[in-house]
A and B are shown apart, each in its own frame.
Chain A
């Protein structure tokens, strides 16, 4: 089966900007009622709008691509929903739900497609700042529908070096136990002048927006654990098309699956200098204090 990736990208862009974006924008900050996914004092938030938007996306996609599989954050069943080699839409209706609830302007929709478990189409749309980033395998990336020259951008950024980089870090919603400890210790090492001494960290509260920002050359890298395939699938395709790379958050995880649950996403380098990128990844891993592990 041959699949026209460019036309799928176009289809998802239209869906994101025309149908999904307006809902996210108009409902942001209005949802004072939300469920806490597990337990009474959790901070993993989901609103009725998440579910409504996922249904809308699923129905639109099913009408157009009835044979493709579909994995969405809200319909996902742990242990049952599996990513196969088949063409599979992997989507997060609203990435950055906490932002959405608080009206912090970085909630977005994240629409991805994998074939043979590889992210091959990615579309991310933030309606608050009207930013649409999209890509498909072999076709490069587009920002608000216009081609984006990532090599020119990378040239203006200079070389990729840990102690000159700005890194995205998010503690996530699980705030106890080993993973939380590992994250906090690693943040401290990255910042400390005795270890990584990065220029700074940023936290947007959305994995998808963060990966889009790396692809656009606004950030150098993003390190996280606990997120799911739908948080990273679209961003992964976009970043890869911009010369970036996604590896595991733990040292030596050079090749990972989309549902690895821990990720280190790194921007591209001038003239695709793979060694420079590899050195950055190794220097970064040297600051990881402990091991992130998710069931």
Chain B
């Protein structure tokens, strides 16, 4: 079974209703009020709140009642090594993307609802209730911001003139073979006058929001390692519907699975050959292969 364009649009509308009516208001009213009461995940930087779990269970039960045959993968219920993305229609959900932002009240936490089929993102909705930005798309149906179709102005895409999203992430152990040192080395190469000398980098602290901003051209690209399928699934679909591309963070990875954990999003508004050239120029500054 492959879902039709119409069926995908219905899922998109279900996502929109759920986000606007139930999840968004919850996120907005609780942001920045929980600083003293978070669990430590791996090292205390990756923060999880009780609300994260609560929101995921609301989403899971609402989607299950409407789409009982679809599978469900969520950040809070994921089991490493056990949970796998199959070819079946599968909801891939992050209840609160940008949990650190959420805890600190920085207005870039959002909910990310995706649907994958045959391992490919086919529906996505990302809602930031603090700034009232709802990005949504489904395969073949275009991408929208708050109901308005996203259309990028045609313009050149050149590494030196680009604005790129980069994040520190929560893995911070210093070692010459580790991902942290490779990331910092890459950032330095991108910024340096003797390197790529990009216009600048931005960091909003949410993978989903970064990809959405690439999708509508506010950012030119986003390079990341360490995030998960639920961080990228929804926004990936939105990006692709605008003509943007998602490839791997490591050089040469033109085709990647959803759970590659190492991603590189590039905006549209130019020819595919310009995107390819941009990717190759960017990859030449990557300081060592990221491994997860």
Give Cα distance in the complex from A194 to B202, angstroms: 25
B163, closest chain A residue (CB): A102
CA gap between A213 and B105 in the complex, in Å: 10
Do the beta carbons of A157 and B205 come within 8 Å of each other?
A: no
Chain B contacts with A in 142-200, Cβ cutoff 8 A:
153, 155, 160, 163, 167-168, 170, 172-174, 180, 184, 187-188, 191-194, 197-200
A213 close to B106 (CB less than 8 A)? yes
A218 and B107 contact, CB distance less than 8 A? yes
Interface string of A207-239 (1 = CB under 8 A from B): 000000100011110000000000000000000
Contact A98 B199 (CB under 8 A): yes
Interface-facing stretch out of A4-12, A117-125, A198-206: A198-206
Report if A32 contacts B (CB, 8 A).
yes
Q: Is B104 touching A199 in the complex (CB atoms < 8 A)?
A: yes
| Contact across chains for B220 and A102 when beta carbons are under 8 A apart | yes
Chain B contact patch, size range: 35 or more
| Binary contact readout B81-120 vs A (1 if CB under 8 angstroms, 0 otherwise) | 0000000000000000000110111111000000000000
Q: Which residues of B contact A77 (CB under 8 A)?
A: none
Nearest residue in A to B201 (C-beta to C-beta)? A203
Task: Find chain B residues with CB under 8 A from A171 CB.
Answer: 191, 200-201
A259 interfacial by beta-carbon distance below 8 Å? no
The answer to whether A218 touches B104, judged by C-beta atoms less than 8 angstroms apart, is yes
A41: interface (CB < 8 Å): yes
Q: How far is the CB of A181 from chain B (nearest CB, A)?
A: 9
Contact B163 A98 (CB under 8 A): yes
Cross-chain contact B193 with A184 (CB below 8 angstroms): no
B213-A104 in contact (CB<8A)? yes
Tell yes or no: A191 within 8 A of B by CB: yes
- Answer whether residue B26 sits at the interface, using C-beta atoms and an 8 A cutoff: no
- The reply to whether B202 and A205 form a contact with Cβ atoms under 8 Å apart is yes
Q: How far is the CA of A160 from the CA of B214 in the complex (A)?
A: 33
A129-B201 Cα distance, complex, nearest whole Å: 20
The reply to whether A200 and B202 form a contact with Cβ atoms under 8 Å apart is no
Shortest Cβ distance from A44 into B: residue: B199
**Among the listed stretches B31-39, B66-74, B235-243, which one makes contact with chain A, having 4 or more residues with CB under 8 Å of it?**
B31-39
Are the CB atoms of A102 and B32 closer together than 8 Å?
A: no
Does B218 sit within 8 A of A, measured CB to CB? yes
Q: Specify which chain B residues have a CB less than 8 angstroms from the CB of A205 in the assembled complex.
A: 163, 200, 202
Question: Nearest CB to that of B204 among chain A residues?
Answer: A202
Q: Known interface pairs A98-B200, A166-B104. Does A156 touch B163 (Cβ–Cβ under 8 Å)? A: no
Chain A interface bracket (under 10, 10 to 19, 20 to 34, 35 or more): 35 or more
CB pair B194 A199 closer than 8 Å: no
Does A176 contact B194, Cβ atoms closer than 8 Å? yes
Residue numbers in B under 8 Å from A213 (CB-CB): 106
Are A157 and B202 in contact, CB atoms less than 8 angstroms apart?
no
* A102 & B100 in contact (Cβ 8 Å cutoff): no
Whether, in the assembled complex, B131 has its beta carbon less than 8 Å from a beta carbon of chain A, the answer is yes
Residues in A69-103 with C-beta less than 8 Å from chain B: 98-99, 101-103
The reply to whether B197 and A175 contact each other, CB–CB distance below 8 Å, is: yes
| B43 interface residue per 8 A CB criterion | yes
Which A residues from 148 to 196 make CB contacts under 8 A with B? 153, 156-158, 164, 166, 170-171, 173, 175-176, 180, 184, 187-188, 191-194
A43 touches B204 (CB 8 A): no
Task: Please name all residues of chain A whose beta carbon is closer than 8 Å to the beta carbon of B187 when the two chains form the complex.
Answer: 184
Contact check, B168 vs A191: say whether CB atoms are below 8 A apart: yes
Q: A220: which B residues are within 8 A, CB to CB? A: 104
* With contact pairs A157-B32, A157-B35 given, residues A199 and B105 touching in the complex (Cβ less than 8 Å): no
Nearest CB of chain A from residue B152's CB, rounded to whole Å:
10
Are the C-beta atoms of B104 and A219 separated by less than 8 Å?
yes
Whether A43 lies near B197 (C-beta < 8 A) is: yes
**Beyond A98-B200, A105-B218, A217-B105, 12 extra complex contacts between A and B, CB < 8 Å:** A41-B197, A104-B213, A164-B35, A176-B192, A176-B193, A187-B184, A188-B174, A197-B45, A200-B170, A202-B108, A202-B203, A218-B32
The list of the 4 closest CB pairs from A to B, nearest first, reads A176-B193, A203-B203, A175-B193, A102-B163
A-B contact pairs, 16 of them (CB 8 A): A29-B217, A45-B199, A101-B199, A104-B163, A156-B32, A157-B35, A191-B180, A191-B184, A193-B174, A199-B100, A199-B103, A202-B106, A202-B205, A203-B201, A205-B200, A213-B106
